[in-house]
A = this chain, B = another copy of it.
């Protein structure tokens, strides 16, 4: 990635490939030129630059509100996990051990026991919960942490989408019964859907994972799954019922109301900075990123346009607009840099994806007007100064709806329904997207499909209605439908 002043020149040119023609290169350029992320020195690591980190802070704000209102609290747990913890739950160990980073020394001293950097925190957090949970009075225990996670990724890393270090939240809850844990899992899944669809404008398929795709050690895993424009799916969040699979090895027991000692039921759930990658991929266009208004840290930018001698009245009006929008709760910046042309600024803010641009020049001032430009369609509209806050607020809502509607139409169009394995393979190979087919439920068929096409089961719908006649692979009776896709 080039330095800033070099990039400024480049940015004037904009992105040099079309999203529709070279998606991968387009994404790389948007991430760099919108100053979202930059590659770190260690394989698969990135810096999250202010433009993306501010989106993450907005995601935190929205999600914290949802979980606080339902009785959850945030906490922070140690990052270094003794090797012996990881080995307590066998499936969990097998799932994560190939990709953990090992700490072996502190200073010049070899450690008595090797430590792993958390690839997820079930084992660490449960070592605390086994001390904290004693009685039914202590339940439910509803905690969440925001932290960094490390998983050594060697191949096909991509900023936000797959990296060796990322940021996430991980919720870890303890319940008295399976039913309460089930409820928690589904409530959180609904929060994830709401966050993703209503704020990020990223439409989803929602359902369960298959046995082979579930979280290592879970009873079952639920998921929200999004489709990228290149036909590959992104797992955008998961919520797991861990049953008693962790409470037993980690000894999380409680005295129930009848004074009987019971193993507790636990859940865990997480979303990560990968959401930022998904929203960039889905909404961006050939001019750069488009940030959906409800999650955008900056919702509007004012660009004053003037010749020498006109700046005073134009800037005064621009400041008035800024203050009116701020009063209306719309986060806004005024780009009054005097060493850049308006055209340069237009390109700059379009690249970064600020939802609304407001242009104001001497004639607008005279006429008591300003021009609003929406980032999604680039349409311009002249509006009166008096109604500017309301006009911008309406436009933001309209952009939000339009971005979601467009993305939803693309998701729907990406779905192919077939029972014919030939068509299945062709679709995965040529068109991509989700393929909805019947599945016998057998892991052998699932494995063969993955081997032969690269597609995995992304989502099994919760409701088994309209189950198709036969398994797309073996032709035997289908037990359920499944959405298959290649995935990031």
- A residues contacting B by CB (< 8 A) are 1-6, 38, 40-42, 45-50, 53-54, 56-57, 73-82, 85, 97-108, 115, 117, 124, 127-128, 131-135, 137-138, 143, 147-148, 150, 152, 164-165, 167, 255, 339
Contacts and interface: CB of A to CB of B under 8 A. Distances in A.
A77 B40 CA distance: 8
Given A5-B138, A50-B74, 5 more contacts: A3-B133, A41-B82, A76-B148, A101-B103, A102-B103
5 contacts: A4-B132, A46-B78, A50-B143, A107-B152, A148-B148
A148 B150 contact: no
Q: Which 9 A-B pairs have the closest CB atoms?
A: A106-B152, A5-B134, A50-B73, A45-B78, A40-B78, A3-B134, A102-B105, A48-B76, A5-B135
A150 B79 contact: yes
A75 B53 contact: yes
A131 B99 contact: no
B99 A107 contact: yes
Contact of A4 (B47, B135, B150): B135
B339 A80 contact: no
Contacts of A38: 128, 131-132
B77 A57 contact: no
Contacts of A132: 3-4, 38
A196 B168 CA distance: 29
Given A1-B131, A101-B105, A137-B339, A50 B78 contact: no
A80 B42 contact: yes
A1 B104 CA distance: 28
Contact of A47 (B49, B76, B115): B76
B4 A138 contact: yes
A210 B117 CA distance: 36
A167 to B, nearest CB: 6
A107 B117 contact: no
B74 A47 contact: no
Nearest to A167: B76
Given A41-B127, A45-B80, A80-B45, A107 B115 contact: no
